[in-house]
Amino acid sequence: MTMTTQPLGDSRRKAAALVSSFSAPMLARAARDALVKLDPRELTGNPVIFATEIVAILATLSTALAIANGGDWGFAVQIAAWLWATVLFANFAESIAEGRGKAAADSLRASRVTTSAKLLTGHAGAIVLTPAHKLGVGDLVLVEAGDVIPADGEIVEGVASVNEAAVTGESAPVIRESGGDRSAVTGGTTVVSDWLKVRITSEAGNTFLDRMIAMVEGADRRKTPNEIALAVLLAGLTLIFLIAVVTLLGLGAYSGVTLSPLVLGALFVCLIPTTIGGLLSAVGIAGMDRLLKVNVLATSGRAVEAAGDCDTLLLDKTGTITFGNRMATEVIPAPGVRAEHAIEAALMASLGDETPEGRSIVELARTLGQAAEAPAGAEIIAFSATTRQSGLTSGPKSWRKGAVDAVLATLGLKAADMPSELAGAVDRIARSGGTPLAVSADGALVGVIHLKDVVKPNVKARFADLRRMGMRTVMITGDNPVTAAAIASEAGVDDFLAEATPEDKLRLIRAEQAKGRLVAMCGDGANDAPALAQSDVGVAMQTGAQAAREAGNMVDLDSDPTKVIEIVETGKQLLITRGALTTFSIANDVAKYFAIIPAIFVAALPALGALNVMGLHSPKSAILSAVIFNALIIVALIPLALRGVKYRAIGAGRLLQRNLLIYGLGGLVAPFAGIKIVDLIVSSLGLA
Amino acid sequence: MNGFGWAEIALTLALTVAVAFPLGAYLARVWQGGKTWLDPVLRPLERLVYAGCGIKAARSQGWLGYTGSFLAFSAASFVVLYLMLRFQNLLPLNPQGFAGMSPDLAFNTAVSFISNTNWQAYVPEQTLSTFSQMAGLTSHNFLSAAAGIAIAAAVARAFAADRGEGIGNFWADLTRISLYVLLPISLVIAVAYVGLGEPQSLAAHVTARTLEGGQQTIALYPTASQEAIKQLGTNGGGIFNANSAHPFENPNAWTNLIEIVSMNALSLACVVAFGRIVLARKDARALAAVMVILVAAGAGAIYAAETQAPPALAAAGVDTAVNMEGKEVRFGAPSTAIWTAATTGASDGGVNGMHDSFMPLGGGMALFLIQLGEVLPGGVGSGLYGMVVMALIAVFVAGLMVGRTPEYLGKKVEAREIKFAMLAVLILPLSILGFAAVAAVLPVALKGLANPGAHGLSEILYAYSSASGNNGSAFAGLSANTPWWNITLGIAMLLGRFAYVVPVLAIAGSLAAKPKLAATAGTFPTDGPLFIGLLIGVVLIMGGLQFFPALALGPIVEHFQALQMVAAR
C-alpha cells in the first residue's frame, strides 16, 4: 500500500504535510465535525469551551427576547454570533487535528482486506479456506506468494520476502523467517515470494493493524497527566472569572451601573482562557500526529508526553551511535616499507573480500589513490575460522590480511619479532577500541590496517544538545569495557554499559527510575521485551520480535534506532506548545480588561473613560472588538498548535527566556494592537 | 516626594531584609529541632510542655494528622476565646467593669484572633477587660502566629522530603516556635518599647488635668508587651482604637521603625528558613525578592499618591504638596507610606495612619496589596506558603515551555497539586467579591457605611479584603459592629485562614510523598531574575487581575472623579 498523500507515508517534509492537512476536503470535513461537536455532551471534558457554549446559548436567548420585544438587537446578534463562532473555532481546531489522523486511518482500513486464510488442520497438509476474521489464536495458516497474511502471527516454518508497505509505507520487501527476531509477521502485509507457515497470535479485531487504526484515529484518546492538570488550572481560572463577573452585578448596582447579561457574558468569555481551552486537545493530537509523520506510532498520548520528560536515554551502540560495521580508517606501513606499497598490499588482500570490512579497506585504498585491480586469474583466498585471514594469490605473488597473530604465524614470526613501531601501532589501535589487521605481501609483513567502529558524524553534537536539555545518554553495547569506553568518549555519551546483557539493561533502567528519572530506550529483540516494558518510553522496531512490539509503548515503523532522539524532541515540543499557548492565553486578559471595563462602566461613570487607553471607538465597538479578537485568535493560532512551537536545544534557562518573551510578553502586548485593529474595522463598517 | 522620603522607604526595607536573614537561619534550626543558644533556659521548659500535654514530639504526622491537629487546636481556641469574651464580666482583672461582648461580636473577635487577623469591630479601650486583652487576645497573638509558622515549616519539610510520609508534628512545632522564637524576641522588643516610652501597666487608667482645667481619663494597659507581639506575629490588633497612630502604641520615629521592621522580618525569615530546610537558598531568595520588589513598588505608589497635592485643595488655592489628612504629623508621608505597604502586604493590619483618608490611589494600593493574597511578605508563615502556591502555579503555567512536566524544587507539579493550589487561590475572590457584592446591595449592610459613592464601595471592599486576607486593618468609615458585618466578616476570616490552609497542607502531603529529583540542565530555573519576573507577573495577573473590575468601581473611579471635579471647576 502506498500512502503518499498521507502522513503515514514518507512525507516528512513539513511544508508538504501542512499543505495536505489544510486540503479542501479535509477542511470541509473538519467544519462538519465542528458542528457535530456543538452537542454540549461532547464538550463536558473541556470546561472552558463548555462554559463558552453556555454563555452563547444564554446570549442567543437574550437576543431572541430583544428581537421579540422589538428592542435594539443589532449589537446583541453580533455578540451572540461571535460567541458561537468562538465555540465553533475551538471545535474546528480539534476536528482539523483529528482529521489528519482520520484520513490516515481510512487508508489503513482500506488495506485491511477481508481475505480468506489457508487454515492448516491437524491432518498433515490439509488446507481449509477460512475467512480471516474467523481465525483464533494458535491457528496455523499457510501463506504463499501473493497472499495477504490474514492476522498477526509468529512464523513457525519457512522464509519469505514480505511487503510490509501496508504498515510501514516502505515498499521494499523485507525477509521474514522462522526463529530469531525476524519471525513476527503483521496481518495485512503481503508475502511476495516463497511461503510461510504462521501461528496466529492475535484475535481478529485486535491485530497490530487494528490497534494502529484505533491509535491513529484517536478512538481511545485519553487525557494525559499534564492535560488533566492543565484542565484543572483552566477550570479553576474559569471559576475565578465567573466569580469576578457575577459579583459585578452587585457591585455595579451599588455604583448605579446597569449591566446587561449579554455584556457580562461577553466579558466572562473574553476573560476565561478560551485560547488554550480551545486549542488544548488539538495540541495533543497534533503531537501524536507529528510522531506519525516520522513514522512512529505511540500507543498513547501519555507515552508522547513521557518522552518529553525523559532524563535518561539508553542507546544501542550499533546502528544508533556507530554505523553497524567496522571500517578501515588508516594503513600503517612497517618500517622501511613505502606507504603506497603497504596500501597497495592492503587493497590487493581485500579485493576478493566481500565483507563490509573488506569493502571498507578497498574504499579507503581508492580514496588514498590506489587504482590497482586484481591480476587476471588471481585466486581468492577466503576467510576461514582456522586461518583467520584472507587475501589473493596470483602466481608467485600473494597478499594476505588478517588477525595479527594469525598473519605472523603464517609468516613464521613471533609477536616479539614484530618491529617495535608496528607493535606500538597494534597496541594503540586495540586500546582505542579498534581492530588491528596485519597485512603481508609476498611473505613479508608490510603494515597494519586500523579497523574502527566508526561513530556516526552528527551524533556527538546531538548528544551535546541532549545534555544541554538535561538528558543523560547511556550507550549500551556488547563490547568489552575498553572498546566501549573508547567509543563512548568519542561519541560523547555520558555513560556506557559494556558487555550488556538484557538483564543488565533492565537493572540499569530500574536503578535510574529509583532515582526518579524517566528512561527511554529502543529495542527489537525478544529479550529486549522486559526492558522495553520497564522503560517509560520503550520504542520497539517494527522489524523486531512480536514480544518487543507488544512490550514497548511506541513502534518505529522505519526500525531506525536513532529515532528515539526525535521522539524525545517531539515530546518536548508538545509540552512547550501547550505551555506557550497557556501563557499567551492568560497574558491576553490584561488588554481585554482595558477594552471592556471602561466600556461597560463609562455610561454611568464617565470618569472611567480615562481607562480606555486604546482609544476604542465606542463602548459597543470595544466590547464587540474584544469578543471578535478573542474568537479570531483561536483560528490564528491553529497552525501553531498543529505545527508546534519550535524546539531548540539551548538549555532550559534560555529556552524559557525566549518563550516567555514571545508568548508571555507577546501575549501581553499583542491583544492591545489586535483589539484596536478590530475596533477600527468594526467602527468603519458601522457594525457598532 | 523628595529624596529623603525615598531613602527612608529604601532604608526601612533594607533593614528588614538584613534582619530577616540571621533570623531565618535561627528559625530553620528551630524548625528542625536543632540546638540553639537558648537551649539551657528553654529546653527544660519545652520538655515540661511536652510532658504536661502528652506531646510525642518525635512522631511525625502525615498531612491529614497535621491538618487535623491544626484544626482541632484552632477550634478549641475559638471556643475558649469566645466564652472568655462573652463572659468577661464574670472573669477577674476587669478593673474597668466592662460587660461581656454580644454573641456576634464575640464570634467575630474570637475568629479574628485565632485566625491571626485581628480585625477589631469594637473600641478596645471601651470594651475589653485587661484579662481579655492579656489572657485572651495576647495569648492568641502568640499562638495563631505560631500556628501559621508551623504550617510553613510543614510545607518546607514536604519539599525537603524524598518519598516521605510525615511533615512534622504540629504540637511540637507550635511549642517550639512559641518558646524559641516569638516569646524571646517579643520580650526583647517589649523592653525596647518601654525604654522608648510605651506604657506597660496593669492599672486601668490615669487621670490627667488638661490645660483647660478639664479632666481626662487616659487608658494605659500593658501596651509595650502587646505591641511587640502585635507586630512580630503580623497580628495588628491594637490595644487602642487608633492602633499605632496612638502615641502610646507608637510614640516616636524609633518605635515606628522597629514596628515596621518587626512586622515584615519574621515573614521574610520564614522564606529564608524555607530555603535552608529545602536546600534551595537561591530559590528562596527569589521568592523573597518578589515579595520585597512588590512591597517596595506598593510603598512607592502610596508615597507618590500621598505626596500629590489633593486636587480639591489645590483648586481651592491651598498651598500643600502632601495629603496630610489621616496621617500623624510625627511620621509624615514616607513613614506612613512604607508602613501602609508593609502592613497590607504582610497581613499585619496594624496602622499608623487612616487608610480611609488617603488619596483614592493610595488607599486603593493598600486595598490591592491585601487582595494580592497577603504574600508580600504576608503573614508569618502564611506569606511563605501563599507565595509557594503562587510559585507552583507560575511553574506550572510557564514551566511547560521548557518541554518538561513542571518541577518546583525537585518536586513534580501535577494535577493534584494544581487542583489544591487552584482551590486555595479561589478562596480570596470568592470571599472578597462574593460578600462585597451582596453587601453592596443589602440595606442592612449599607447602613454601616459612612460615605456614599465610590468611596463607600472601597470601604466595603476593604473590609472583606482585610478579613479574607486575614489582614485585620480597617479602612475606617464603616461601623462594622452590627450582626451582619460581624458574622459575614467572621466567615470571611474563617475562609481566608482555614479554607486556604487545608489545600496547602494537602499539597504538602502530596509533595512529601514524591521523589526528590535532582536539578539538571533541563530543569526550569526557579532562582534567577527570569523567575522573579515571571512570578511577579503571575502574582499580578492571576492573583490580582480578577479584582480589577471591582477596583475600577472603587478607588480608580474615585481618583478620576476627583480629577474631573477639579477640572470642571
Task: Please list every residue in chain B whose beta carbon sits closer than 8 Å to the beta carbon of residue A243.
Answer: 426, 429-430, 433-434, 546
Q: Which of A316, A453, A479, A536 is catalytic?
A: A316
User: Mutual orientation of helices A225-254 and A563-587 as an angle, nearest 10°?
Assistant: 0
Q: How many CB pairs under 8 A join A and B?
A: 222
The whole-number pLDDT of residue A218 equals 64
Instruction: Judge: A248–B547 Cβ closer than 8 Å, yes or no.
Output: no
The whole-number pLDDT of residue A123 equals 66
**Closest-CA residue in chain B for A575?**
B403
Task: Please list every residue in chain B whose beta carbon sits closer than 8 Å to the beta carbon of residue A582.
Answer: 397, 400
Q: Tell me the residue ranges of DSSP E strands in B381-520.
A: 407-408, 411-412
3-state secondary structure at position B7: helix
Cross-strand bridge partners of residue B478: B449
Identity at B322, one-letter amino acid code = V
The average pLDDT across A228-250 equals 94
Identity at A540, one-letter amino acid code = A
The length of chain B in residues reads 569
Euclidean distance between CA atoms B371 and B381, whole angstroms: 18
- A688 touches A78 (CB < 8 A): yes
Give start and end residues of each alpha helix (H) in A218-371: 225-254, 261-271, 274-293, 301-309, 339-350, 356-367
Task: Please list every residue in chain A whose beta carbon sits closer than 8 Å to the beta carbon of residue B557.
Answer: 255, 601, 605, 607-608
Task: Please list every residue in chain A whose beta carbon sits closer than 8 Å to the beta carbon of residue B507.
Answer: none
The length of chain A in residues reads 688
| Residue appearing with cell numbers 495576647 | B138
Instruction: Judge: B422–A233 Cβ closer than 8 Å, yes or no.
Output: yes
Judge residue B6's burial from the number of C-beta atoms within 10 Å of its C-beta, 0-12 exposed, 13-18 middle, 19 or more buried: middle
Euclidean distance between CA atoms B52 and B54, whole angstroms: 6
* Stronger pLDDT, A69 or A220, i.e. the higher one: A69
Strands A322-333, A444-455: pairing is antiparallel
Residue (of A486, A530, A565, A484) closest to A314 by Cα position: A565
3-state secondary structure at position A53: helix
* Stronger pLDDT, A9 or A263, i.e. the higher one: A263
Give start and end residues of each alpha helix (H) in A522-587: 529-534, 546-551, 563-587
Residue B358 grid coordinates: 488617603
pTM: 0.88
Residue A530 grid coordinates: 522486559
Question: From the CA of B534, how many Å to the nearest CA of chain A?
Answer: 8
Confidence at A2, pLDDT banded by 50, 70, 90: very low
Euclidean distance between CA atoms B245 and B193, whole angstroms: 15
What value does the mean pLDDT of chain A take?
Answer: 85
Cross-strand bridge partners of residue B327: B353
**Closest-CA residue in chain A for B434?**
A247
A608, A655, A663 ranked by CB distance to B552: nearest: A608
Strands A554-556, A296-298: pairing is antiparallel
- B61 touches B170 (CB < 8 A): yes
The whole-number pLDDT of residue A563 equals 83
Euclidean distance between CA atoms B197 and B183, whole angstroms: 21
Residue (of B294, B237, B288) closest to B116 by Cα position: B237
| Residue of A223, A224, A230, A233 to mutate when probing chain B, most B C-beta within 10 A | A233
Over residues A616-652, the pLDDT tens digits come to 999 999 999 999 999 999 999 999 999 999 888 888 8
Cβ atoms within 10 Å of B426's Cβ, excluding its own:
19
A225, A233, A311 ranked by CB distance to B520: nearest: A311
Euclidean distance between CA atoms B497 and B502, whole angstroms: 9
Task: Please list every residue in chain B whose beta carbon sits closer than 8 Å to the beta carbon of residue A308.
Answer: 403-405
The whole-number pLDDT of residue A493 equals 92
Euclidean distance between CA atoms A491 and B91, whole angstroms: 83
Residue (of A141, A258, A128) closest to A202 by Cα position: A141
CA distance readout (Å), B281 to B17, B22, B275, B278: 15, 13, 4, 8
Residue A19 has pLDDT above 50, yes or no: no
Question: From the CA of B101, how many Å to the nearest CA of chain A?
Answer: 32
Euclidean distance between CA atoms B288 and A471, whole angstroms: 31
Rg (Cα) of chain A, in Å, rounded?
Answer: 33
Average the pLDDT over each of A153-167, A651-665, B372-386 and give the range with the smallest value.
Answer: A153-167
The whole-number pLDDT of residue A124 equals 66
Positions in chain B short of pLDDT 50: none
The whole-number pLDDT of residue A579 equals 93
User: Mutual orientation of helices B415-439 and B500-512 as an angle, nearest 10°?
Assistant: 180
> Is A442 a residue of the active site?
no
DSSP conformation class of A610: G
Cross-strand bridge partners of residue A540: A523, A555
The whole-number pLDDT of residue B204 equals 67
Residue A311 has pLDDT above 60, yes or no: yes
Cross-strand bridge partners of residue A157: A197
The whole-number pLDDT of residue A120 equals 84
Residue A6 has pLDDT above 60, yes or no: no
Confidence at A9, pLDDT banded by 50, 70, 90: very low
Instruction: Judge: B429–A243 Cβ closer than 8 Å, yes or no.
Output: yes
Euclidean distance between CA atoms A526 and A619, whole angstroms: 69
Confidence at A417, pLDDT banded by 50, 70, 90: confident
**Closest-CA residue in chain A for B414?**
A229
- ipTM of this complex: 0.94
Residue A279 has pLDDT above 90, yes or no: yes
- Cis bond before residue B377 (omega within 30° of 0): yes
- B466 touches B119 (CB < 8 A): yes
- A99 touches A33 (CB < 8 A): yes
Euclidean distance between CA atoms B195 and B328, whole angstroms: 22
Residue (of B381, B313, B325) closest to B569 by Cα position: B313
The average pLDDT across A308-315 equals 89
Determine phi and psi for B238, rounding to 5 degrees: -85, 155
